[in-house]
Amino acid sequence: MEKDKNAAGFGELFTKTWRVPLLVAIGIMFVQQFVGINTVIYYAPTIFLFAGFAGAKAAIAATVSVGIVNVLSTVLSMFLIDKLGRRKLYFIGLVGMGISLASLGLSFYFKDNLGDSLMWASVIAVLVYILFFAISLGPLGWLIISEIFPTKYRGVGVSVGAFSNWFFNAIVAFTFLKLAWLFTAPGMEIITQGSTEPDPNPAGAFFVYAAVSIIGIIWGLKYIPETKGVSLEEIEEHWRQGKMPNELNK
């Protein structure tokens, strides 16, 4: 009961001291979702179909391979986070994801030239993308928002971060196919096996997600804090002094 009485209300996050950490929480969740992670996972079977795999084979290959890489990379992240720090791993992850997404986009853009090679180029790009996400933004998004708020503000701060995560997730999931069609030029459509209707070419959507990776890097230079080895008291004092996130732990 005492803990609940001392907890901050939602409105307190908008005071001058806490606006910056609030922006960090919302911003990192924006980047986490708008690099297209859940789109890649949701639509992995579709992506594999676009690449030329048969129906059941595509679903099995996508589910199993993505799941294995995701789990193993998440385990690896537990060692890397404290070894490399939050900021460095954040940037490593975004660089890797940006390159993977651009490669995935190029694979589909030049699908007619790649032929059967498109299968393996797209699969490798997807799995490398999952690897970089799982060692960086996947765990870092939640870890950072839990570390930047002191105990009094953590409950409401993490709640705003979680809401932002699901809100951005929904936007990305519902706009993927529309985005794919928007950037599909005449003649670039894809006919999957067993289908009589053309599907959109997802190249443009992947290029957009790759661009978000670049935006995330630029934004992160100023707004991603290094919380490794910093106490909650030190972090709170940092915000109260009106300092920027990139000045923490320097």
What average pLDDT score do residues 73-88 get? 94
Confidence class of residue 214 from pLDDT cuts 50, 70 and 90?
Answer: very high
* pLDDT at res. 1: 41
Confidence class of residue 2 from pLDDT cuts 50, 70 and 90?
Answer: very low
In whole numbers, what is the pLDDT of the chain averaged over residues? Answer: 86
What average pLDDT score do residues 178-182 get? 86
Model confidence at 62: pLDDT above 50: yes
Q: Give the Cα separation of 170 and 224 in Å (integer).
A: 24
Q: Give the Cα separation of 156 and 165 in Å (integer).
A: 14
* pLDDT at res. 58: 63
Domain residue extents for the chain: 16-247
pLDDT digits (tens, 9 = 90+) for 142-171: 999 999 998 888 889 999 999 999 999 999
Distances (CA, A) of 219 to 33, 100, 245: 15, 20, 11
Distances (CA, A) of 3 to 6, 8, 78, 146: 5, 10, 30, 17
Q: Give the Cα separation of 101 and 33 in Å (integer).
A: 14
**Domain at 16-247, CATH homologous superfamily:** MFS general substrate transporter like domains (1.20.1250.20)
